[in-house]
Structure 1
Amino acid sequence: MSAAARFRELHHGRPQGDPLVLPGPWDAASARIFAEAGFPALATPSEGVSASLGHADGECPAEEMFAAVARIVRAVEVPVTADIERGYGMAPAEIAARLGEAGAVGCNLEDSASGTLVEAAAQADFLAAVREALGPEPFLNARVDVYVRGAEEPLKEALARGRAYVEAGADGVYPIMAPPEDLAVLARELPVPVNALARPGGPSPAALAAAGATRVTFGGTLAARVREGVRNLAAGLRAGRDL
Structure 2
Amino acid sequence: MNQIEKAKAFHALHRKGDPIVLYNIWDAGTAKAVADAGAKALATGSWSVAAAQGYADGEKLPMPALVETVKAITNVIDLPLSVDFEGAYSTEPAGAAANVARLVEVGAIGINFEDRVVDGSGLHPVERQAARIRAIREMAEGKDIPFFINARTDLFLAESDLSKHAGLVDEAIERGRAYAAAGGSGFFVPGLIDPALIEKICAASSLPVNVMMRAGAPDLKALARLGVGRVSYGPGPYRSMMEKLKQDAAAIYSQL
Does the CA contact (< 8 Å) of 2:153 and 2:175 recur in 1?
Answer: yes
- Does residue 123 (structure 1) correspond to residue 92 (structure 2)? The answer is no
Which letter does structure 2 place at the counterpart of 1:175?
Answer: V
Alignment of 1:156-175 (within 5 A): 156-175=170-189
- Does residue 71 (structure 1) correspond to residue 72 (structure 2)? The answer is yes
The correspondence for 2:190, drawn from 173, 176, 179, is: 176
Does the CA contact (< 8 Å) of 1:172 and 1:193 recur in 2?
Answer: yes
- Superimposed CA distance per residue, residues 16-52 of structure 1 (whole angstroms, 9 cap, x where no aligned partner): 3x31001111111111011111110011100011011
In structure 1, list runs of 5 or more residues that go unmatched: none
Residue 208 (structure 1) shift: 2.1
- Superimposed CA distance per residue, residues 188-210 of structure 1 (whole angstroms, 9 cap, x where no aligned partner): 11111100101244332233222
Which letter does structure 1 place at the counterpart of 2:226?
Answer: A
Query: Match for residue 138 of structure 1?
Result: 147
The sequence identity of aligned pairs, in percent, is 34
Q: SS state of the match for residue 43, structure 2?
A: strand
Which letter does structure 2 place at the counterpart of 1:34?
Answer: V
Provide the rounded CA distance (Å) in 2 between the counterparts of 1:172 and 1:239.
Answer: 48
Provide the rounded CA distance (Å) in 2 between the counterparts of 1:156 and 1:93.
Answer: 28
- Superimposed CA distance per residue, residues 92-151 of structure 1 (whole angstroms, 9 cap, x where no aligned partner): 331232111221111010000134211111111111111111125010110011112238
In structure 2, list runs of 5 or more residues that go unmatched: none
Query: Match for residue 43 of structure 1?
Result: 43
The correspondence for 1:93, drawn from 97, 101, 121, is: 97
The size of the alignment, in residue pairs, is: 238
Cα RMSD after superposing both structures: 1.7
TM normalised by structure 1 equals 0.92
Q: SS state of the match for residue 141, structure 1?
A: strand
Which letter does structure 2 place at the counterpart of 1:95?
Answer: N
Provide the rounded CA distance (Å) in 2 between the counterparts of 1:93 and 1:159.
Answer: 24
The correspondence for 1:195, drawn from 206, 210, 221, is: 210
Does the CA contact (< 8 Å) of 1:95 and 1:130 recur in 2?
Answer: no
Residue 211 (structure 1) shift: 1.8
Residue 168 (structure 1) shift: 0.6
Query: Match for residue 109 of structure 2?
Result: 105
Does the CA contact (< 8 Å) of 2:25 and 2:43 recur in 1?
Answer: yes
Query: Match for residue 54 of structure 1?
Result: 54
TM normalised by structure 2 equals 0.88
Q: Which runs of 4+ in 1 moved over 3 A?
A: none
Does the CA contact (< 8 Å) of 2:21 and 2:231 recur in 1?
Answer: yes
Provide the rounded CA distance (Å) in 1 between the counterparts of 2:203 and 2:97.
Answer: 33
The correspondence for 1:147, drawn from 149, 152, 156, is: 156
Query: Match for residue 248 of structure 2?
Result: 233
Which letter does structure 2 place at the counterpart of 1:203?
Answer: P
Provide the rounded CA distance (Å) in 1 between the counterparts of 2:38 and 2:66.
Answer: 25
